[in-house]
Chain A
């Protein structure tokens, strides 16, 4: 991370706009492209003001077609541009899934790096904001399973800006998942100007010796709150914000559980086949003999995300996480 002099308080969504502005200024090949990203400034206002600053050759409203958007952006990326695509909600990306899995992520391999796809796809995701149906999906595991794709999830305004700049600069496709619940849930210190946070590196949000908690996106806040409560009962948690889901930060995962011997993984996505299972694989591969208790997962259920009257029941919360922490300690 480069040294940044000035700090400014802002929300995550403002930090994302800042990152886009930095890249549009810094690199002429950067394009912001999507549905409603121009005049309207994006459905969440993440591209607010960029159209006015950079014009419609750089900040481009497209027809309403996710496959068309991702597919043509692949062509732009292969031919000298760095498109930053906005898909309005993760639940709307599926028409473009074929372009992502059969092309964007394979073109480097298929052409032995003759052609590459430096493409970033930004997508708001997750539940907890009383959104309509299909607007609250957390299907990140569908994407971490695709070879050739990096998957990044910030949880703070500071990380959102640095990680997005890194994602745009990355030479390969990056899926950049933005937790909707964190968009405006508070302001944080964000350095002005350009800075990067390396992809694939987790961040320790709280230091503790008793239980490791792994989370990403909006669940990081849940983990932190649970850790505060546990601390009152004398249990100190090591809260790790994974930040990148592919590739996972194996070193930090191993280092943390080798210290604590206990782990709780939180994700709002369905339990089966989730990224949590991959974290368990890493613990198994690196730290099996250090473990003092079975690893706990606190996750969403293997059901479609419910409509919002039930979303609080569906989502992991502080209570469920505290219970899991206590169970691993008592084992």
Chain B
């Protein structure tokens, strides 16, 4: 038997919107909640790409197509839990309560965009691939040491599984039975490099076997399945039963970033085919229609509300032209350290001379 056979793709609602098996999370109420978050996320993503095209923010990493993987997992967390995103996980961070204005500010080149709202443990997007896996493991380890039931959830892509930090993080979590959920979004490409050049294993989920932890391969465009599996993993972690590796199989429609041209390394008509056949938002729409619960007026209301929230966030973001230069100097150390202090004074002195 092939090892990958132990990790079949878990699905609760298929691409046609048809429920595949009984599950208490597959409800019209949940469908509407997911739909609202995912529709909002997609509009956010499109807005961000447009802002970049207009030169109002810098380079941006779009996630369109991956909304179900992010929303389904993010909604399984509670306040007090820790979220460690990559630079492509703003659907997740926004759903978990990040400030939209700050997410935009980050891409506008303003460090204050990294700061989560008070009381929310949302880490700044990690740029070095897989490195955040260890921080999620460490913060969750701290929760375990404190005797709390808080957990960490960390996002990373398929390319990240080639990095040492992925393996070191899973190993530490396994050895110390740390309450962390490893949420892999396998979108098939690490920039241009396809999965089969990234690994010789057929699945990412099977890598859990090496660390003797539960692993599952889930249809990452089925928000119900992602939610259900993440809830199970979070519950396992909360109740002291250690880490889980989840592989959510998905697809990014667009480019790696706004500076990338995907047609150079893959057939972009595949994205169009998938949009038609397998879109995560369309799937919920189909599910709701199959249950006679899709109201076009509600859909318009969801979109109008989303646009309104986004426009407000953009207006807030645009009030900041650039960061206050003091922010560059003031948080390097918690104590006064003369080279930084001197350089700051010189910077502002020279600045005032220029003025």
Query: A and B: partners?
Result: yes
- Give complex CA distance A150, B339 in Å: 12
> Would you call A68 and B168 a contact (CB within 8 A)?
yes
> Would you call B138 and A72 a contact (CB within 8 A)?
yes
* Per-residue interface assignment for chain B, residues 129 to 153, with 1 indicating a CB less than 8 Å from any chain A CB and 0 otherwise: 0010111111111110110000010
> Would you call B169 and A57 a contact (CB within 8 A)?
no
What number of residue pairs across chains A and B have CB atoms under 8 A from each other? Answer: 132
Q: Is residue B124 contacting chain A, with contact meaning CB distance below 8 A?
A: yes
Q: Is residue B24 contacting chain A, with contact meaning CB distance below 8 A?
A: no
Query: In the complex, which of the residues B112, B165, B175 contacts A71, with contact meaning CB atoms closer than 8 Å?
Result: B165
Q: Is residue A112 contacting chain B, with contact meaning CB distance below 8 A?
A: yes
* Per-residue interface assignment for chain B, residues 311 to 355, with 1 indicating a CB less than 8 Å from any chain A CB and 0 otherwise: 000000000000000011011111101111000000000000000
Query: In the complex, which of the residues A75, A113, A114, A200 contacts B134, with contact meaning CB atoms closer than 8 Å?
Result: A75
> Would you call B169 and A81 a contact (CB within 8 A)?
no
Contact sample, A vs B, 19 pairs, CB 8 Å cutoff: A57-B145, A65-B164, A67-B168, A70-B134, A71-B131, A72-B135, A72-B138, A74-B135, A74-B138, A75-B136, A79-B142, A81-B145, A95-B164, A111-B115, A112-B115, A112-B331, A148-B332, A172-B334, A250-B338
Query: Which A residues are in CB contact (< 8 Å) with B294?
Result: none
* Per-residue interface assignment for chain B, residues 162 to 196, with 1 indicating a CB less than 8 Å from any chain A CB and 0 otherwise: 00110011011001000000000000000000000
> Would you call A68 and B171 a contact (CB within 8 A)?
yes
Take A68-B165, A71-B169, A114-B115 as given contacts and tell me if A200 and B337 are in contact as well, using a CB distance cutoff of 8 Å.
Answer: yes
| Closest Cβ neighbor of B124 among chain A residues | A110
> Would you call B334 and A79 a contact (CB within 8 A)?
no
- B342 CB to closest chain A CB (Å) equals 9
Query: Which B residues are in CB contact (< 8 Å) with A75?
Result: 134-142, 152
| Closest Cβ neighbor of B173 among chain A residues | A72
- B207 CB to closest chain A CB (Å) equals 16
- Give complex CA distance A111, B135 in Å: 14
> Would you call B333 and A172 a contact (CB within 8 A)?
yes
Q: Which of A108, A110, A148, A200 has the most CB of B within 10 A?
A: A110
Q: Is residue B213 contacting chain A, with contact meaning CB distance below 8 A?
A: no
Query: Which B residues are in CB contact (< 8 Å) with A273?
Result: none
> Would you call B331 and A247 a contact (CB within 8 A)?
no
- Give complex CA distance A113, B115 in Å: 9
| Closest Cβ neighbor of B164 among chain A residues | A67
Q: Which of A42-93 contact B (CB under 8 A)?
A: 57, 62-63, 65, 67-68, 70-81
Take A62-B172, A68-B169 as given contacts and tell me if A108 and B145 are in contact as well, using a CB distance cutoff of 8 Å.
Answer: no
Q: Is residue A98 contacting chain B, with contact meaning CB distance below 8 A?
A: yes
- Give complex CA distance A78, B137 in Å: 12
Closest 8 CB pairs of A and B: A75-B138, A71-B134, A68-B168, A79-B142, A171-B334, A72-B138, A75-B139, A75-B135
Q: Is residue B128 contacting chain A, with contact meaning CB distance below 8 A?
A: yes
- Give complex CA distance A310, B142 in Å: 46
Query: Which B residues are in CB contact (< 8 Å) with A99?
Result: 131, 134, 165
Q: Is residue A6 contacting chain B, with contact meaning CB distance below 8 A?
A: no
What total of chain A residues lie within 8 Å of the partner, measured CB to CB? 41
Q: Which of B165, B332, B333 has the most CB of A within 10 A?
A: B333
Binding site for A on B (CB under 8 A): 82, 111-112, 114-116, 123-124, 127-128, 131, 133-143, 145-146, 152, 164-165, 168-169, 171-172, 175, 327-328, 330-335, 337-340
* Per-residue interface assignment for chain A, residues 31 to 44, with 1 indicating a CB less than 8 Å from any chain B CB and 0 otherwise: 00000000000000
Q: Is residue A303 contacting chain B, with contact meaning CB distance below 8 A?
A: no
Q: Is residue A212 contacting chain B, with contact meaning CB distance below 8 A?
A: no
Binding site for B on A (CB under 8 A): 57, 62-63, 65, 67-68, 70-81, 95, 98-99, 102-103, 108-116, 147-148, 150, 170-172, 200, 247, 250
> Would you call A80 and B146 a contact (CB within 8 A)?
yes
- Give complex CA distance A103, B334 in Å: 16
- A64 CB to closest chain B CB (Å) equals 10
- Give complex CA distance A79, B135 in Å: 10
- Give complex CA distance A148, B333 in Å: 6
| Closest Cβ neighbor of A118 among chain B residues | B334
- Give complex CA distance A171, B331 in Å: 12
- A98 CB to closest chain B CB (Å) equals 6
Take A63-B168, A75-B140 as given contacts and tell me if A98 and B131 are in contact as well, using a CB distance cutoff of 8 Å.
Answer: yes
| Closest Cβ neighbor of A65 among chain B residues | B168
- Give complex CA distance A71, B135 in Å: 6
Take A71-B168, A111-B114, A250-B338 as given contacts and tell me if A147 and B332 are in contact as well, using a CB distance cutoff of 8 Å.
Answer: yes
> Would you call A112 and B112 a contact (CB within 8 A)?
yes
Query: In the complex, which of the residues A102, A111, A148, A171 contacts B131, with contact meaning CB atoms closer than 8 Å?
Result: A102
- Give complex CA distance A148, B335 in Å: 11
Query: Which A residues are in CB contact (< 8 Å) with B152?
Result: 75
Query: Which B residues are in CB contact (< 8 Å) with A57?
Result: 145
Query: Which A residues are in CB contact (< 8 Å) with B146?
Result: 80
- B77 CB to closest chain A CB (Å) equals 16
| Closest Cβ neighbor of A68 among chain B residues | B168
- Give complex CA distance A168, B146 in Å: 20
| Closest Cβ neighbor of A278 among chain B residues | B339
- Give complex CA distance A237, B171 in Å: 53
> Would you call A112 and B114 a contact (CB within 8 A)?
yes
> Would you call B142 and A113 a contact (CB within 8 A)?
no
- B243 CB to closest chain A CB (Å) equals 12
Known: A72-B135, A75-B138, A114-B115. 12 other contacts (CB 8 A): A63-B172, A67-B168, A71-B131, A71-B133, A71-B137, A74-B138, A75-B136, A79-B82, A111-B331, A112-B112, A112-B115, A112-B327
Take A74-B138, A75-B138, A76-B142 as given contacts and tell me if A103 and B131 are in contact as well, using a CB distance cutoff of 8 Å.
Answer: yes
- A202 CB to closest chain B CB (Å) equals 13
Q: Which of A75, A113, A150 has the most CB of B within 10 A?
A: A75
> Would you call B337 and A247 a contact (CB within 8 A)?
yes
Query: Which A residues are in CB contact (< 8 Å) with B164?
Result: 65, 67, 95
Take A63-B171, A171-B335, A247-B337 as given contacts and tell me if A110 and B114 are in contact as well, using a CB distance cutoff of 8 Å.
Answer: yes
Take A63-B172, A71-B134 as given contacts and tell me if A172 and B115 are in contact as well, using a CB distance cutoff of 8 Å.
Answer: no
